[in-house]
């Protein structure tokens, strides 16, 4: 597009060219009439004679040849380091003996200056999916957390005092390294693929019987909110590979799906939820006992479902995707 102070817009270029070519007026006359130089008037007249009205539009100023352009084999090496190693412009520039500014320019041209669409660990393109309706697929998994000793854990009271609290709280059981054991909290989590609405319970084990009990209660919890569970996706843990889990899903008319072995990205939604769970609840503040932390979970789940904006669904709370639900915004 012509700039604001251009002497000739495409419309006036056409008038000038027609004055010379069709009306047989001189280049000097047309240049004087339109207040431009003689070479400019001749250029537009020649383009009109060769290309017609289409030749009056602006052309790209991009050069036909770029002798100093980064060679293609160098670009391939650069892209490989960025894609597979996730290195930045400075690190790539050191390896390939290139200025970081040049590396950044090539990365921008290849749309690799930002890697939000590439998996952090594998370097493969992230494949995102979302089921169309609530209940079409739920994700289940278990998040393991060490119990908090009475008086608080080492994260807040320091390692020395945390060790004393742990020894005072522990039972007679000890690890192979003679460390006192205070047990593990198994947070059984369920999340709906479409809405990201979450359900969670804390237990002292991750057996099949416990997992099945959580599934029964989660299905009832979702049903009370108008959601019918159709599929369940889990990893290949022993509880989810058991006959009890298979038979229970069959009785509930739920199709069983498993992730690919050693591929937690397949269940990425619940893995990401576990990180949010840890940051927002498990390690968010000081708890002076394990019971205090467990008692805080229901309130945090309510905050997550009803009030916390979720970036994957347009910064709305998950419960907003369960339409026509009484009290969903309370």
301 within 8 A of 198, measured Cβ to Cβ: yes
- Rounded distance between C-alpha atoms, residue 271 and residue 240, angstroms: 16
* Regions of the chain short of the pLDDT cut 70: 1-5, 116-127, 171-180, 324-330
Give the residue carrying structure tokens 């990180």. 275
Q: What pLDDT is stored for residue 174 in this prediction?
A: 56
Fold adopted by 138-147+183-321: Nucleotidyltransferase; domain 5 (3.30.420)
- Could you tell me which of 267, 275, 143 has the C-alpha nearest to residue 203? 143
What tens digit of pLDDT does each residue of 5-15 get? 677 888 889 99
Q: What pLDDT is stored for residue 191 in this prediction?
A: 95
What tens digit of pLDDT does each residue of 185-224 get? 999 999 999 999 999 999 999 999 999 999 999 999 999 9
56 within 8 A of 17, measured Cβ to Cβ: yes
Query: In the chain, what are the domain boundaries?
Result: 10-56, 70-126, 138-147+183-321
Q: What pLDDT is stored for residue 176 in this prediction?
A: 46
The partner residues of 310 in beta bridges, in order of sequence, read: 316
């Amino acid at each position: 597009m012509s700039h604001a102070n251009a002497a000739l817009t495409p419309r006036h270029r056409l008038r000038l060219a027609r004055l010379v070519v069709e009306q047989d007026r001189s280049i000097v006359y047309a240049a004087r009439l339109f207040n431009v130089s003689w070479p400019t008037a001749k250029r537009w007249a020649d383009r009109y004679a060769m290309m017609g009205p289409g030749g009056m539009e602006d052309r790209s100023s991009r050069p036909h040849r770029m002798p100093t352009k980064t060679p293609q084999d160098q670009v391939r090496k650069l892209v490989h380091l960025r894609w597979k190693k996730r290195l930045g412009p400075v690190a790539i520039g050191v390896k390939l003996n290139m200025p970081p500014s040049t590396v950044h320019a090539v990365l921008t041209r290849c749309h690799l200056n930002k890697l939000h669409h590439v998996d952090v660990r594998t370097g493969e393109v992230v494949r995102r999916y979302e089921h169309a309706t609530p209940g079409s697929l739920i994700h289940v998994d278990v998040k393991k957390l060490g119990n908090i000793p009475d008086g608080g854990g080492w994260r807040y009271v320091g390692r020395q005092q945390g060790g004393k609290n742990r020894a005072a709280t522990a039972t007679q059981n000890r690890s192979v390294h003679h460390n006192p054991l205070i047990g593990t909290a198994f947070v059984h989590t369920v999340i709906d693929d479409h809405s990201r609405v979450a359900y969670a319970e804390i237990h002292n084990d991750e057996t099949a019987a416990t997992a099945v009990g959580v599934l029964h209660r989660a299905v009832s919890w979702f049903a009370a909110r108008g959601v019918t569970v159709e599929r369940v996706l889990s990893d290949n843990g022993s509880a989810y590979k058991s006959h009890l889990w298979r038979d229970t899903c069959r009785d509930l008319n739920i199709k069983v799906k498993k992730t690919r072995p050693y591929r937690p990205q397949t269940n990425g939604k619940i893995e990401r939820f576990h990180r949010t769970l840890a940051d927002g609840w498990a390690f968010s503040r000081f708890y002076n006992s394990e019971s205090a932390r467990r008692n805080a979970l229901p309130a945090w789940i309510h905050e997550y479902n009803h009030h916390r904006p979720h970036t994957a669904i347009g910064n709305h709370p998950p419960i907003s995707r369960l339409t026509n639900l009484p009290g969903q915004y309370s």
